[in-house]
Amino acid sequence: MLSSRFKNDGKSIYKLNEIQLQAKADIELKIEKEQYKFEEINCSSCGSKSYELLAEKDRYGLKYYTRICKDCGFVYVSPRMTEESYAEFYNNEYRKLYVGENIASEKFYEDQVFRGKRIFQFINSHYELNNKKLDILEVGCGAGGILSVFKENGHNITGIDLGEEYLNYGKEKHKLNLIKTSLKDIDENYKADIIIYSHVFEHILNLEKELNTIKEHLKENGIIYIEVPGIKYVHKTYEMNFLKYLQNAHVYHFSLNSLSRILQKNNFNLVYGDEQIRTIFKLKIDIEDKVFKNEYSTVLEYLTKIEKMRVFNIFRFKKIRWKIKKLFLKLIFK
């Protein structure tokens, strides 16, 4: 384990509001009653059984076993909840626990729009988006804020999600084309130029199955945009706190290397990507396969390093820095 604070003690690292506390209690009870079942898996990237345990709980204090594969360095969750249990979790507790709200709000939508602008710019710098009318599909679109940016720029948008409440918000309030369905159940003739997965891919249990379905709905020169929280980017996004990064809905933790490896295995090549992780992949056309390195030591070293540095990192935050400054001034000028 990375350190003793990753032990399964049931404690949340965040102060939870009442809605979140209730959702957490509901999940814990369902786990105890075995309504939520767990399954053991091998490394989803290389198939190896050899691993090291990094953590036993997530940021909310829920039981959550994060492993690193010794043979390729992929970080994944096992034992993890089964597909059925996750489906029930998404229907009942997910938004309550993660957003702390029962219903979609304009703030949630505005946050999506903000992210949509960044995604649009990112894709546009690697794949010409202007002066075209493209078919854009977003899987796991929530209220559809990301897609609204593409719509404003003249593209045909389709958003799919299973969370009805958020979908309805985007449909009714913002007149977006959003459908309650999953990718496997979408109209079989539907094909997109761009398929977007923004903070969705790390939730998908069966990646191979998903990538095969993507192939059926991607036009010949189409691309997929995948954005996930990068495991080598925790120092910039989660206040250098790996425990804040761990959340029970995420079953995989990707680096650019591990994501590209899984995609390549399923016939997709990386067009562009960074460790943040924002990536563009294209169906493979006779390009030589890249050989991927075992990242076990580099990922483990990185996580160990940020765990040690975390203590110093709090000084980076203005509030605390200001408080210390004031304290000094007080001592000097008293």
Query: Nearest distance from residue 262's CB to Zn ion, in Å?
Result: 10
Q: Is 74 in the site for Zn ion (CB under 5 A)?
A: yes
Based on CB atoms, which residue is closest to Zn ion, 72 or 176?
72
Q: Is 241 in the site for Zn ion (CB under 5 A)?
A: no
Q: Is 69 in the site for Zn ion (CB under 5 A)?
A: yes
User: Token pair for residue 285?
Assistant: 């056309």
CA–CA gap between residue 80 and residue 65 (Å, rounded): 7
User: Token pair for residue 58?
Assistant: 């997530």
Query: Nearest distance from residue 46's CB to Zn ion, in Å?
Result: 3
Range in contact with Zn ion (rule: CB under 5 A) among 14-22, 41-49, 87-95, 186-194: 41-49
Q: Is 256 in the site for Zn ion (CB under 5 A)?
A: no
Q: Is 72 in the site for Zn ion (CB under 5 A)?
A: yes
Range in contact with Zn ion (rule: CB under 5 A) among 48-56, 89-97, 213-221, 287-295: 48-56
Q: Is 234 in the site for Zn ion (CB under 5 A)?
A: no
CA–CA gap between residue 304 and residue 242 (Å, rounded): 10
Query: Nearest distance from residue 70's CB to Zn ion, in Å?
Result: 8
Candidate list 17, 35, 48, 297; residue touching Zn ion; CB under 5 A: 48
Residue reference for tokens 């389709």: 158
Q: Is 77 in the site for Zn ion (CB under 5 A)?
A: no
Based on CB atoms, which residue is closest to Zn ion, 75 or 167?
75
The 3-class secondary structure across 145-196, one letter per residue, is: HHHHHHHHCCCEEEEEECCHHHHHHHHHHHCCCEEECCHHHCCCCCCEEEEE
Check if the beta carbon of residue 229 is closer than 8 Å to that of residue 198.
no
Helix 18-32 with 83-92: angle, nearest 10 deg: 150
Check if the beta carbon of residue 233 is closer than 8 Å to that of residue 226.
no
Q: Is 186 in the site for Zn ion (CB under 5 A)?
A: no
Amino acid at 106: E
Based on CB atoms, which residue is closest to Zn ion, 56 or 71?
71
Q: Please list, residue by residue across 161-180, b when 16 or more beta carbons sit within 10 angstroms of its beta carbon and e when fewer do.
A: bebeebbebbbeebebebee
Candidate list 27, 46, 81, 231; residue touching Zn ion; CB under 5 A: 46
Q: Is 43 in the site for Zn ion (CB under 5 A)?
A: yes
Name every residue whose Cβ is closer than 8 Å to that of residue 172 and which is 6 or more positions away in sequence: none
Range in contact with Zn ion (rule: CB under 5 A) among 65-73, 210-218, 266-274, 300-308: 65-73
Based on CB atoms, which residue is closest to Zn ion, 72 or 214?
72
Candidate list 2, 6, 24, 45; residue touching Zn ion; CB under 5 A: 45
Range in contact with Zn ion (rule: CB under 5 A) among 46-54, 141-149, 206-214, 254-262: 46-54
DSSP 217-231: TEEEEEEEEEE---T
Query: Nearest distance from residue 52's CB to Zn ion, in Å?
Result: 12
Task: Identify any residues that bridge with 138 across adjacent strands, giving them in sequence order.
Answer: 159, 196
> Using CB under 5 A as the criterion, which residues of the chain lie in contact with Zn ion when the complex forms?
43, 45-46, 48, 69, 71-72, 74
